[in-house]
């Protein structure tokens, strides 16, 4: 597979590492041309000389450029691009220092009862993160196989790998159509799954998903798909979640294994 990298993508990558647009242009220029004076750098990077001079010295401070002193005009060159991975590592190290305190604050600010909305594929990724954070059994009514949406492949694989490590179990009551349209589907399920099927007349375009103190309803669904206009209504309430689990087991006992 050929991966096309656009200029915008490259710019975003540099910015995520803490480089300004001018710094990125100069670094890219020096990577390509090698040792250069300020005038040549300004021309090659299409940056005003004064701005180029300021950006170069910021790059020197970041360890991405070094200065070559001479009796004439001093010149500059870029260090090996592997230095960029060090910048990323430093950012990750800094994040790890503050992450425990952030997680502590997040845990204690959660209201005992609240309601909010997620949307689209990123919303599904948020839900998976919540599932892993809570680390408890999951109960789904009206399951449609949407978690196997191809666009979610990388995130899904990471999710189920961590879910397996945490030994999270999934109880799913699928719509009847899953059995009739793709009877082998449940064999492709990557997690610890127990399942049954709803009677045909009770299929819908929605899902109820319960775990921990959370109740999530999905709307506007199709079989084996999750779309960007999918809406997830999240209710955080221990009382509601306990009630939904009781209703789940009632439906489970009335549903069929085959």
pLDDT per residue as tens digits for the range 118-155: 999 999 999 999 999 999 999 999 999 999 899 999 99
Q: What is the rounded average pLDDT of the residues 20-38?
A: 86
49-61 helix and 21-33 helix, angle to the nearest 10 degrees: 80
Q: Supply the pTM of this predicted model.
A: 0.60
Report pLDDT digits (tens) over 177-226. Answer: 998 888 888 888 888 899 999 998 999 999 999 999 999 999 888 888 89
- Predicted local confidence at residue 2, as pLDDT: 40
- Predicted local confidence at residue 136, as pLDDT: 96
* E strand or H helix at 207: strand 207-211
Rounded Cα distance between 19 and 238, Å, is: 45
Reading phi first (left if > 0) and then psi (alpha if -120 to 50, else beta), residue 147 is in alpha
Cβ count near 27 (within 10 Å): 24
Q: Please state which of the ranges 83-87, 156-160, 244-248 shows the lowest mean pLDDT.
A: 83-87
Rounded Cα distance between 25 and 22, Å, is: 5
CATH classification code of 13-85: 1.10.10.10
If one compares 4 and 116, the residue with the highest pLDDT of the two is 116
Domain ranges of the chain: 13-85, 113-254
CATH classification code of 113-254: 3.30.870.10
């Amino acid at each position: 597979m050929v991966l096309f990298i656009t200029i915008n993508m490259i710019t975003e990558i540099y910015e995520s590492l803490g480089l300004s647009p001018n710094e990125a242009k100069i670094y890219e220029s020096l990577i390509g041309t090698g040792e250069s004076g300020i005038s040549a750098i300004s021309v090659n990077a299409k940056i005003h000389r004064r701005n180029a001079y300021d950006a170069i010295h910021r790059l020197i401070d970041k360890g991405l450029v070094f200065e070559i002193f001479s009796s004439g005009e001093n010149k500059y060159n870029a260090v090996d691009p592997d230095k960029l991975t060090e910048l990323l590592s430093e950012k990750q190290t800094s994040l790890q220092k503050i992450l425990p305190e952030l997680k502590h604050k997040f845990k204690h600010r959660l209201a005992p009862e609240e309601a909010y909305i997620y949307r689209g594929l990123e919303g599904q990724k948020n839900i998976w993160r919540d599932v892993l954070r809570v680390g408890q059994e999951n109960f789904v009514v009206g399951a449609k196989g949407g978690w196997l949406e191809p666009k979610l492949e990388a995130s899904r694989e990471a999710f189920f790998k961590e879910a397996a490590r945490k030994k999270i179990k999934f109880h799913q009551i699928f719509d009847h159509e899953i059995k009739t349209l793709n009877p082998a589907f449940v064999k492709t399920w990557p997690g610890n799954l127990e399942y049954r099927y709803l009677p045909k007349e009770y299929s819908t375009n929605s899902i109820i998903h319960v775990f921990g103190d959370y109740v999530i309803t999905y709307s506007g669904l199709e079989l084996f798909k999750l779309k960007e206009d999918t809406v997830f209504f999240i209710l955080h309430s221990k009382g509601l979640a306990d009630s939904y689990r009781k209703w789940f087991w009632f439906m489970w006992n009335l549903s069929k294994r085959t």
